[in-house]
Amino acid sequence: MKVRRVVTGQDASGKSVFVSDTEVEPVELGIMPGTAFHRLWGSDEPPALPTDGTAPAAPLYFPPGNGYRFAFFTLGPDSVTIPPDLDIGQALEELSVRLPGLAEAMEPENPGMHTTDTVDIDVVISGEVDLELDDGSEVHLTAGDCVIQNGTRHAWRNRTNEPVVIFVALLGAERKAP
């Protein structure tokens, strides 16, 4: 999927300006065939205005407590599997370099299942997907459906033959003991 990102800001006189207009290439990984991550914008702290439109620092995939992320996530069908000749060690290293922090949130013994200290605002843009929670309950989502994920343990399951594209806004949160 092609994703165009237009960024605005203010110049030295306070006038609104277009800062950039670029196509953002997806991050695609051998260990996650059929999956693509378009990391579009984010920060590790709350936004401050005015801004000149310079991209803030957002090194990790998931934001810290006061941070946020804006992205598109494309999930290929569950039927797409890891190639048998994939060097798993090298593939995990690629994952940690290209999407730092993502692997640490995932449960190797339960593929796809993960928990993060974020409130995720998700909108299915195209395709269909099932959202599974830790007790095995699921909800089927189609284009236009949205989810507010409040730091819960979950997994996305694409049981169709087509990719699903999901808009994601990840808002950093602080997890407190219940």
Kindly tell me if the per-residue pLDDT of 177 is higher than 90.
Answer: no
pTM assigned to the model:
0.92
Has residue 16 been placed in a domain?
A: no
Q: Give whole-number Cα distances, 135 to 17, 131, 132, in Å.
A: 49, 12, 8
Residue 35 lies in a domain: yes
The span from the CA of 140 to the CA of 41, in Å, is 28
Work out the pLDDT band at 79, boundaries 50, 70, 90. Answer: very high
Element housing 142 (H / E): strand 138-142
Q: Tell me, what CATH number does 68's domain have?
A: 2.60.120.10
| End-to-end CA separation in angstroms for the chain | 40
Examine residue 46 and say whether the peptide bond preceding it is cis (omega within 30 degrees of 0). no
pLDDT at 155 over 90: yes
Give the pLDDT confidence of 102-131 residue by residue, as tens digits.
999 999 899 899 999 999 999 999 999 999
Closest residue by Cα to residue 69 from 173, 148, 168, 155? 168
Q: What is the pLDDT of residue 26?
A: 97
pLDDT band at 178 (very low <50, low <70, confident <90, very high): confident
Mean pLDDT score across all residues of the chain? 95
In a domain, 99, yes or no: yes
Residue 139 lies in a domain: yes
172: exposed, middle or buried (Cβ count in 10 Å: 0-12, 13-18, 19+)? buried
Asked if residue 13 belongs to a domain, the reply is no
Range 57-79 average pLDDT: 96
Domain count, the chain: 1
Q: Is residue 10 part of a domain?
A: no
Q: Which residue range forms the structural domain that includes residue 164?
A: 24-172
In a domain, 136, yes or no: yes
Q: Is residue 4 part of a domain?
A: no
